[in-house]
Structure 1
Amino acid sequence: MVLDLGEVLVRWDPLPALAAGVGEAEARAFLTEFDFDAWNHEQDAGRSFADAFAWLDQHAPRWSRHGRAYLEHFALSQVGEVEGSGAVVRALLAAGVPTFALTNWASETWSAALERFEVLRTFDDVLVSGEVGTAKPDPAIYAMAAERFGHPPSSLFFTDDKPANVEAARAAGWDAEVFTGADALAAALVARGVLDPDWA
C-alpha cells in the first residue's frame, strides 16, 4: 500500500499560513492572482526556499513577502488529519501489510510535519519528493519509489487526491485509485482483499 499524504492523510491549506504573515486579503490575492501551485511545486521537486525567494525577488517582487510568510508560518498550513485516514493506515500496519507513503513535500518543511503528526512516523518508509529532487506526476518518482520500497509496480496499490498523479501511477504499472475519503479507501482495500471486512 502506498499513500499520498497531503489531503489524503494530512489536511493542507496554505491560506492560514499566508494570512498570518500578510493578512487574509493579501493571502487570497497571492493564491488567486499568482500561480502559487506552480511556484510551490518547484520546492516539492527539490528547489530550496532560498532559491524560491530569489526567484520571486527577481520575477515577481509583488509577492516576495508572501512567499516568505508561507515558510515562516508553514505550521499553520497543516490544519489536521484527514478524518478516518489514520485509522486505515494503522489497520494496514496491524494487519502486517507493507505500508508506504509517496508525497510531494518540500524537504525543508518535512520535519515539521513529522514532528506534529505521529501517524507519519508509523510508515515502513516515506519517499519525500523534495528530498529526491523530483515530484509526482513525473514518471521517475514512481520508478524510484518501487525500487526503494522493494516491491514490483504490479504489486503496489496507490491512492492520491490528484487524478494526474493517479494516472501517472497507472502508467507506471501500479494499481491506483483517486482518494475521495477514508471510507472509500477502506472499501477499495477490502475489495482487493488487503483488509478484512471487519477491519474497523
Structure 2
Amino acid sequence: MLGRTPAAVVFDLGNVLIDWQPALAIATGVGAVEAQRFLEAEDFDFMAWNHLQDSGRPWADGVAELRRTHPHWAAHADAYLAHFPASLSEVPGTAEVVRDLHAAGIPMVGLTNWSDELYYPYAAERFEVLRMLDDVVVSGEVKVAKPDPRAYLIAAERSGHPVGRLLFVDDRQDNVDAAVALGMDGVLFTDAAALRVALRERGLPV
C-alpha cells in the first residue's frame, strides 16, 4: 500500500470515463478527410479553441470568432457542434471500477474540462457511470479549467475532504502534475486494468 488510503477519488471524465473523439463528430458532417485536415490544421488550433469554451466562453462567441478569423473552417466547427454526441462513448472498463468504489462507499467527484453547454444535454443523462459520482465540477460552469489550481480546489471543496486526502486520476500528465503540486496523490490514466492496480496499491477496494 502506498501511504495512507485516499478518503475520496477525483476523476477526470474525458478519456478516463467518457471517450471523447472530436474527429468522429466532425467527420459525420464533413467527412473523415476534412475532419483530419481541421484537427491538424497549421493555421488553427482546435484544442486551444475548444479549451476556451471549456473555460466558460459561450459557444456562440467561440463560433463567431472562428467565422471572423478562419471562415474556411466554419463548416467544420458547425459539424462538430451539430454532431457532438457522436464524439462520445464509454471508456472500456472504467465504469466497473467506479461501480466497485461506489458499492464500497468511497466518495467520488468528477473534475472535467467540458463546456457546460455540451456536458449537461449530451453526457450527464446519457452515461450511467456519471450518476455514480457524488458531484461533477464542470469547468465551463465554474469558469476555470485544469490545470488551473483553482479547479482542483473546487473539487476538493465539493468532496468535503482536504486536498491531501484526495486521489486524482487523469489521462494528461500536466493535469496530474498540477494536482500533485497541490498535495493530492495522482494517477496517470492509461487503461482500466492499470487504474484498478493503482487503486488497490492505495488500499481502495476494487
Partner of 2:99: 90
**Amino acid of the structure 2 residue aligned with 1:96:** G
Structure 2 gaps of 5+ residues are 1-8
TM-fit CA distance, 1:115: 2.2
Give the secondary-structure state (helix, strand or coil) at the position aligned to 2:111.
strand
1:118-197 equivalence runs, <5 A: 118-195=128-205
CA RMSD of aligned residues (A): 1.0
1:58-73 equivalence runs, <5 A: 58-73=68-83
Equivalent residue for 1:44, pick from 54, 62, 76: 54
Structure 1 runs of 4+ off > 6 angstroms? none
**Amino acid of the structure 1 residue aligned with 2:131:** R
Where relative contact order (Cα < 8 A, 6+ residues apart) is larger, the structure is 2
Q: Is the 8 A contact 2:112 2:138 kept in 1?
A: yes
1:12-31 equivalence runs, <5 A: 12-31=20-39
TM-fit CA distance, 1:173: 1.0
Give the secondary-structure state (helix, strand or coil) at the position aligned to 2:40.
helix
Q: Is the 8 A contact 2:10 2:155 kept in 1?
A: no
Give the secondary-structure state (helix, strand or coil) at the position aligned to 2:124.
helix
Give the secondary-structure state (helix, strand or coil) at the position aligned to 2:186.
strand
1: CA distance between counterparts of 2:26 and 2:128? 25
Give the secondary-structure state (helix, strand or coil) at the position aligned to 2:13.
coil
Q: Is the 8 A contact 2:109 2:158 kept in 1?
A: no
- Write out per-residue CA displacement over residues 97-149 of structure 1, whole angstroms, 9 at most, x where no aligned residue: 00111111111111211122111111111111111101101111111211222
Number of residues of Structure 1 aligned to a counterpart in Structure 2: 195
2: CA distance between counterparts of 1:177 and 1:123? 18
2: CA distance between counterparts of 1:68 and 1:129? 22
**Amino acid of the structure 1 residue aligned with 2:83:** H
Percent of residue pairs bearing the same amino acid type: 54
Q: TM-score, normalised by structure 2?
A: 0.92
**Amino acid of the structure 1 residue aligned with 2:65:** W
**Amino acid of the structure 1 residue aligned with 2:56:** G
**Amino acid of the structure 2 residue aligned with 1:120:** L
Partner of 2:4: none
2: CA distance between counterparts of 1:192 and 1:81? 25
TM-fit CA distance, 1:192: 0.8
2: CA distance between counterparts of 1:11 and 1:120? 13
Q: Which moved more, 1:142-151 or 1:10-19?
A: 142-151
Structure 1 gaps of 5+ residues are none
TM-fit CA distance, 1:23: 1.6
**Amino acid of the structure 2 residue aligned with 1:100:** V
2: CA distance between counterparts of 1:58 and 1:166? 35
Give the secondary-structure state (helix, strand or coil) at the position aligned to 1:116.
coil
- Write out per-residue CA displacement over residues 143-187 of structure 1, whole angstroms, 9 at most, x where no aligned residue: 121122211000000110000000000011110010011111111
**Amino acid of the structure 2 residue aligned with 1:133:** K
